[in-house]
Amino acid sequence: MDAVAVIPARLASTRMPRKVLAPIHSRPMLAWVYEGARRSPLLRDVIVATDSEEVMDLCRRQGWAAQLTSTDCRNGTERVQEVSRSVAAEVFVTVQGDEPLVRAEHIAELLRVMQPAVVQVGTLKTPLASHDLENPNAVKVVTDCQDRALYFSRAAIPFDRDRIVGVRYFKHLGLYAYRQPALDRFVELGESSLERVERLEQLRFLENGIAIYVGETPFDTIGVDTEADLQRVNVALATNPAAGRSSNL
């Protein structure tokens, strides 16, 4: 499978501006994301997609592939679609610029999900830690018996009305895989009502009847949305340096 990874890296993020350049053990977060993705032997290339000349300058200094994209892109998927206009690939993998603990195993599971040609969109889930159940920054996902997403939410889903023992909750990880038609369709559709309410761009696919297939991984990540998240990443890498690396595949 010919796969290219794109890292959307917007500097003026709403909740935590300039977070992609925030230092993690004296290196910008984007470096951890880029190198984590680059460790995958299954990717032909890894490209940073940004609307910032400052981020482009960092990429040039580091020798990373990068593309300057429009400031009109409203989310990471639109930024990936813009890159796809000039870069051909069978599958485009999105690794969000705030996922410094991305591993090669994540990429491998995503591409496994995308093996059937019928799959247009893929993503990942991992068992949800109990402390994240009420955390709106930890997005939850429920799936059907064929591993297709039923819904994504910042709320705790499913709602355990009768306090049933053993209910499994899953966290959605900020990695996706797309085929070109899905990216083009996403941009054509425009923002959906559920996407607007939850502020979750993947709901645009579901609301318009486009299936998202979900693979499961035991490797959790810490998506950085707040300063507290950034500190958690620093602690995680200080206590377990392997958390930012991947095993040999």
**Within a domain: 164:** yes
Quote the percentage of the chain above a pLDDT of 90.
84
Tens digits of residue pLDDT in 117-168: 999 999 999 999 999 999 999 999 999 999 999 999 999 999 999 988 889 9
Structure confidence at residue 17 (pLDDT): 85
Is the pLDDT at 249 greater than 70, yes or no? no
58 within a domain of the structure (yes/no): yes
Q: Kindly state whether residue 77 falls inside one of the protein's structural domains.
A: yes
**Structural domain boundaries enclosing 191:** 3-244
Task: Give the pLDDT of residue 244.
Answer: 61
* DSSP letters for 75-132: SHHHHHHHHHTTS--SEEEEE-TT-TT--HHHHHHHHHHT-STT--EEEEEEEPPGGG
Angle (CA) 117-120-125 rounded to 5° is 110
Q: How far apart are CA 102 and CA 72, in angstroms?
A: 27
Summarised one tens digit per residue, pLDDT across range 68-92 is 998 888 899 999 999 999 999 999 9
The reply to whether 206 falls in a domain is yes
In the DSSP assignment, the letter for residue 192 is: -
Q: Is residue 87 part of a domain?
A: yes
Q: Is residue 249 part of a domain?
A: no
What's the domain count of the chain? 1
CATH classification of the domain holding 186: 3.90.550.10
CA dihedral for 179, 184, 187, 189, sign (positive or negative): negative
